[in-house]
Amino acid sequence: MARAVNNKRRAVVTLIAWAVGIAIFFPILYTVLTSFKTEAEAVASPPSFLFFDWTLENYAEVQERSNYFLHFLNSVVISLGSTVLGLIIAVPAAWSMAFFPKKRTKDILMWMLSTKMLPPVGVLVPIYLLFRDASLLDTRTGLVIVLTMINLPIIVWMIFTYFKEIPGEILEAARMDGANLWDEVVYVLTPMAIPGIASTLLLNIILAWNEAFWTLNLTAAKAAPLTAFIASYSSPEGLFYAKLSAASTMAIAPILILGWFSQKQLVRGLTFGAVK
């Protein structure tokens, strides 16, 4: 009887999971299908899903109108650069808070996390003026800096959580064997937290890749990533849904492929230390 109840519960949970997954994935699927339609078919009502005249004209026109590979390179440099810079800052910070906690450590962590609750538009004007005076507008360096600062609280929180799961006795043993501070962090602590650091890296690459507010307001042409590439297809002349869908598909395809191949590592890192 208990086995029948468990099987029924498992079937219900599986069905719910599939329903949620389909609901989340459907907009992406519809965008990809729309990218292969003509403009007339893209706005037709009722919409057609598979039975339409498939065409690659939208992709050809998007490539002719925009330099996709420049925007792609900008996205790669900005997302990887901000993530690596964030890790360089966050690993020592998380190490100190995890193994040498002070009375106000929790307050500092909560303060850092509270900065994510601030609406970005609230600090747009001062940051824009600072970037203008420092000649950082429309530069990859400027976007790397601002995206690092935006995602740094999340990076510190995640790595701090992973470091807290590592017994402090291991570090004490390393010190007794003569390890200095650099050896302790690089050769002892970091390798043990590789799953957590990898998941943090992947998550923040995705966050930086999808960031639109700052990239649209701090870039124009030279450093514009794929988010600005998509926005350029919303014009005063109207929305061309087929071409917009083609641009969106080209922008999300790299990060979807990365997420697909790294999903096991991402799940492993996000559940690191959950079971003792």
User: What's the rounded Cα separation, in Å, for the pair 268 and 132?
Assistant: 42
User: What's the rounded Cα separation, in Å, for the pair 61 and 232?
Assistant: 13
**φ and ψ at 240, to 5 degrees?**
-100, 95
> How many CB atoms neighbour CB 242 within 10 A?
24
Q: Write out pLDDT tens, residues 197-231.
A: 888 888 899 889 999 899 989 998 888 899 888 88
Q: Write out pLDDT tens, residues 235-259.
A: 655 567 888 889 889 998 888 888 7
Topology of domain 66-232, per CATH? MetI-like fold (1.10.3720)
- Please name the residue ranges forming H helices in 35-139: 39-42, 57-65, 68-99, 105-114, 124-133
Count CA atoms within 13 Å of residue 213 on its CB side.
Answer: 13
User: What's the rounded Cα separation, in Å, for the pair 185 and 28?
Assistant: 41
Q: Write out pLDDT tens, residues 69-128.
A: 999 999 999 999 999 999 999 988 888 888 877 778 888 888 888 888 888 888 899 999
Residue 76 CA: distances (Å) to CA of 140, 218, 227, 255:
10, 17, 12, 10
Least confident of 94-103, 139-148, 206-215, 265-274: 265-274
Residue 237 CA: distances (Å) to CA of 78, 220, 230, 232:
31, 20, 15, 12
User: What's the rounded Cα separation, in Å, for the pair 225 and 227?
Assistant: 6
Interhelix angle 68-99/241-261, rounded to 10 degrees, is 40
